[in-house]
A and B are shown apart, each in its own frame.
Chain A
Amino acid sequence: MPAIINQKIKIAVASGKGGTGKTLISTNLFHTLTQLDETVLLVDCDAEEPDDLLFFKEALGVPFDRHYGGKEQYEVKQRVPVIDQSNCIYCGKCRDYCSYNAIFLLEGIKTIRVIEDLCHGCGACSYACQSDAITTKERSLGVISRFITGDNSSIIEARGKVGVYSPVPVIKTAIKAAGEDGIVILDSPPGTSCPFIQTVATADFVILVTEPTPFGLSDLKQSVETLKTLNKSYGVIINRAGMGDDKVYSYLIQEQIPLLMEIPFDREIASLYSKGELLVKHKPQWRALFMEMYKTIYSKHKYGNSSNQR
């Protein structure tokens, strides 16, 4: 039975720097929220290295709806051109129209090749060709999979194929498949480039996870600047607090960015994480802290509080 949908919010968990604890936060926040009588969905958008499922060993694969093929896995595909050399007149127009250098042509010896790894599937070559020499075929970019972890909770994983130029199409498909209802947590890919933007663009609130080191601060600043231009609400979690220095704290005060939570550097926490165990299961005091943080974020979203949006 689906729960009555009361709360509707999309929260992205992101960080400029890799390895600051996005997965730690996403998985523990998700597990905490499954306590609520709400539909909760975790989307692992780190399609290059999806790790969230490692923390939910009991998760069961379930089929998507018919729109996504009705199976447990939905293959994300892209169209790539196929050149029919018997029709091709080697005019070079398709190569000129390709913005990704994916068509290699030697007019002199009448040789033309598609470099599929460079193709983004825009279709410009098909449009350019006036000799009916280009058809298309499908190429797999990765898969999205769906799992249930409880009565009202599920996980969608975006998993890009090794060697594919960009994880973005797979990420976009996973977020779309998550739909618009309930509480959705997006575990974002690291960085501030395209995959990050695609993930946070759809979020109502962004949790930035950082660590109190010069690297952490530098990457946090870049993420904050990006979120400002996107006009997003956000707050910061400092992970491994107690290591490094206090410059991240002064930055947060100076920029009036809410500090949502601090997680100390603690060998036990590190060890639980290393084994794929959830912190909130083993240390229930953290469950309360995650719940409290969620409530703050939700009420900020619902009733508005623009303290960090200027």
Chain B
Amino acid sequence: MEIAVISGKGGTGKSSISAAFATLQKRVVLADCDVDAANLYLIFDPVNDYEQVYIAGQKASIDYELCTNCGLCVDFCSFDAILLKATEGGSDFKRVTIDEISCDGCKLCSRVCPVNAITMTDNDKSRMYSGTFRNGHMVYGRLAPGEENSGKLVNIVRDKAKEISEKHKIEITVIDGPPGIGCSVISSVTGTDTIVIVTEPTISGLHDLKRTVELTSRFNSTSWVLINKYDLNREISEQIEEYCSQNKILFAGKLSFDRVVVEAMVSCKSVIEYAPDSGVSKEISHIWEKITHYK
């Protein structure tokens, strides 16, 4: 069973909840798919036994020994990534220059260049790791700054997690997803059995929840909504519950705000490990039972 924990809005407590879910199991596969800001390894300090380079696309570069400054590549680039730029030193000469930030790696410039002056180099700084931690196995990705295609890295993380769960016959996989509704979120939830959308009782939380539901409704997974820190605004919390019942979205439950969650994180533990008898921990266990025994 694959359970993805996501949230439209960032900072709703998704990772703390994923960590708690993971430690309710004796043996679990935990896939940290928030590859842009992977954090769960900080809590679980896994011993990695596998590392894989992830090529996040390519970037163009110009060999000025060959370039005749004809500008054909400038005309073909759809990403405004090739510009005629004044060279340092203040002369009037404008040279064809790649703006690495905007380059999308489509290779078209290297194909149109009449003198083959443009080559593509791999963006090879991103990594996927897998290893073991105190409650089983953990897989996570780390996207190097500035790189895209995080959806593909998420797929690699999930494939590895699947391989591990089959090999070691581990029933439950917990996926900690990224915020937002972009391609990495789509990759994190595609084909999962259950999606838990973590939200908070703020108008931005509710607004983002609606966009997230719009996305998850396209998938066959069973989706649940969980309100974290519900008592920070009971009124909006009720609005969220109402929104869920009106739209026939399963409501997993709500957690009260408790500093013990942050204290647990500071001690590198999940809240289940740090304060098993706290109200939050009991509520999380209850929610876990509910979503894993549904139907």
Contact = CB atoms under 8 A, between A and B. Distances in A.
A218 B215 contact: no
Contacts of B215: 162-163
A183 B158 CA distance: 43
Interface stretch (A15-23, A107-115, A144-152): A15-23
A274 interface: yes
A54 B232 contact: no
Interface string A1-33: 000000000000000111110010000000000
5 contacts: A51-B204, A54-B207, A124-B111, A190-B36, A214-B265
Residue among A54, A191, A222, A270 facing the most chain B CB atoms (10 A cut-off): A191
Given A49-B9, A122-B106, A162-B211, A127 B112 contact: yes
A166 interface: yes
Nearest to B12: A19
Contact of B180 (A16, A20, A165, A190): A190
Interface stretch (A68-76, A194-202, A278-286): A194-202
Contacts of A137: none
B183 A166 contact: yes
Contact of B265 (A122, A191, A215): A215
Given A51-B208, A226-B146, A19 B78 contact: no
Given A18-B37, A122-B79, 19 more contacts: A18-B180, A20-B10, A20-B11, A99-B107, A122-B78, A123-B106, A166-B148, A172-B102, A191-B37, A193-B36, A193-B146, A213-B265, A213-B266, A215-B265, A222-B37, A244-B262, A245-B266, A275-B233, A276-B203
B236 A274 contact: yes
A213 B182 CA distance: 26
Contact of A225 (B42, B112, B145, B266): B145
Interface of A: 16-20, 23, 48-49, 51, 54, 79, 97, 99-100, 120-124, 127-128, 160, 162-168, 172, 189-194, 196-198, 201, 211, 213-215, 218-219, 222, 225-226, 229, 243-245, 267, 270-271, 273-276
Interface in B54-106: 57-58, 76, 78-80, 101-102, 104-106
Contacts of A191: 36-37, 178
Nearest to A243: B262
Interface in B240-270: 259, 262, 265-266, 268
Contacts of A121: 78
A198 B101 contact: yes
A153 to B, nearest CB: 21
B265 to A, nearest CB: 5
Contact of B150 (A100, A193, A198): A193
B268 to A, nearest CB: 7
A244 B145 contact: no
Nearest to B11: A19
B116 to A, nearest CB: 16
Q: Which 4 A-B pairs have the closest CB atoms?
A: A19-B11, A18-B10, A122-B106, A48-B180
A198 B102 CA distance: 8
A273 B39 CA distance: 26
A172 B276 CA distance: 47
Contacts of B151: 165
A198 B99 CA distance: 11
A243 B265 CA distance: 11
B289 interface: no
Nearest to A194: B148
B280 interface: no
B181 interface: yes
Contact of A214 (B42, B57, B145): B42
Contacts of A17: 10-11, 37, 39
B37 A16 contact: yes
B214 A162 contact: yes
Given A18-B9, A120-B106, A166-B182, A97 B143 contact: no
Contact of B179 (A19, A172, A267): A19
Contacts of B266: 213-214, 244-245
A278 B10 CA distance: 20
A158 to B, nearest CB: 13
Interface in B126-178: 143, 145-148, 150-151, 178
Contacts of B145: 192-193, 197, 222, 225-226, 229
B46 interface: no
B9 to A, nearest CB: 6
Given A122-B104, A214-B268, A189 B236 contact: no
B179 A18 contact: yes
Contacts of A226: 145-146
B37 A124 contact: no
Nearest to B43: A214
A158 B28 CA distance: 39
Nearest to A192: B145
Residue among B37, B111, B218, B233 facing the most chain A CB atoms (10 A cut-off): B37
B108 interface: yes
Contact of B259 (A99, A214, A243, A270): A243
